[in-house]
Amino acid sequence: MSAPVATLEAAPAPAVVRPTKRKLSALWKRFKKSGGEDLRNELIEAYLYLVKVISNRIAARLPRSIDVLDLRSAGVFGLMRAIENYDLTRGTPFESYCATRVRGAILDELRSQDWVPRLVRNRASLYNETLTGLKKELGRDPSSHELSARLALPLAETERLQRESNLTSVFTLSPQEEREDDPRVLRRLDVLMDKDSELPFEKLVAQDLAASLGKVLTQVERTVVALYYHENLTMKEIGGVLGISESRVCQIHTKTLERLKAHLDSIGVRGLTEMPEASSGSHD
């Protein structure tokens, strides 16, 4: 007999019960008196919700590549230092004191992991704020001269700021919402085209075509084609290699092109891209 459906469902997470103010007050007094590790851990558990709230708020303004769990880990260290240094006699609410320390610990961790220098980050922020403000005022993208005037900087410095602001942006190829266990989910990284890679079919076609063309050319004609189109030598330089005149090289080149085009027509290849004209001078 199959088990009831209710028993197969995951049990809900237990609700976190926070200590009352009276219990917290007593806990603080005991901890400051003895400094016990067990008491400190109880305080950490009592105020852990502050770390979660602050880290979630900071993560909402960061790229999705930043893991909120890493922010929480840094925030916990800030919470521990806040508990150690909190002075009960000052009368300041611990929540207010702790929030500043936790936020500072998270920001310090972010700065330590940031590959962009802080000065560059600040300059990029100034540029982006100015750019956004001018867009709203003008109703269009401002020109470099308009940005330069608003920033009170030379045009060259403004353009440098623009380049620096582009360098501070990082885009992930694996967004958070796509990090699933479903094998059918494709990330941008999976479908990113490699323009430098060779397609196997195209490579085979090119090899077959080259072998076919090589059969209709003489050794001298193949040498002229290789030196001119692959080694980028001029007609004069090719003549020096083969020990013939430059005009003779030009004649061989012209005859070779005519023979190749005739051969391609005979095998049904159409639309051959025109090869560059031969030049006796140096290549650019």
Query: Which tens digit of pLDDT belongs to each residue from 152-206?
Result: 888 888 888 887 776 655 555 555 444 455 554 545 555 566 666 667 766 776 6
Give the residue from 125, 154, 149 showing the smallest Cα distance to 137. 149
Higher pLDDT among residues 104 and 63, named by residue: 104
The confidence score (pLDDT) of residue 1 equals: 44
The mean pLDDT value for 35-50 works out to 90
Q: Which CATH class is domain 21-113?
A: mainly alpha
Give percent of the chain with pLDDT exceeding 70.
70
Against a cut of 0.85, is the pTM above it?
Answer: no
Q: Is the pLDDT score of 117 beyond 50? A: yes
242 closest CA partner among 268, 223, 216, 217: 223
Which tens digits make up the pLDDT trace of 229-241? 878 888 888 888 8
Angle at the Cα of 203 from the Cα atoms of 202 and 207, rounded to 5 degrees: 115
Q: What is the CA radius of gyration of the chain?
A: 36
Least confident of 55-69, 175-189, 239-253: 175-189
Of residues 1 and 102, more confidence is placed in: 102
What is the rounded distance in angstroms from the CA atom of residue 278 to the CA atom of residue 275? 9
Work out the average pLDDT over 93-105. Answer: 91
Buried b (16+ CB within 10 A) or exposed e, 73-87: ebbbbbbbebbeebe
Average pLDDT over residues 50-60: 91
Q: Return the residue matching tokens 């990029």.
A: 124
Q: Do domains 21-113 and 200-266 have the same CATH topology?
A: no
Domain boundaries defined on the chain: 21-113, 118-168, 200-266
CATH T-level assignment (fold) for domain 200-266: Arc Repressor Mutant, subunit A (1.10.10)
Topology of the domain comprising 118-168: Arc Repressor Mutant, subunit A (1.10.10)
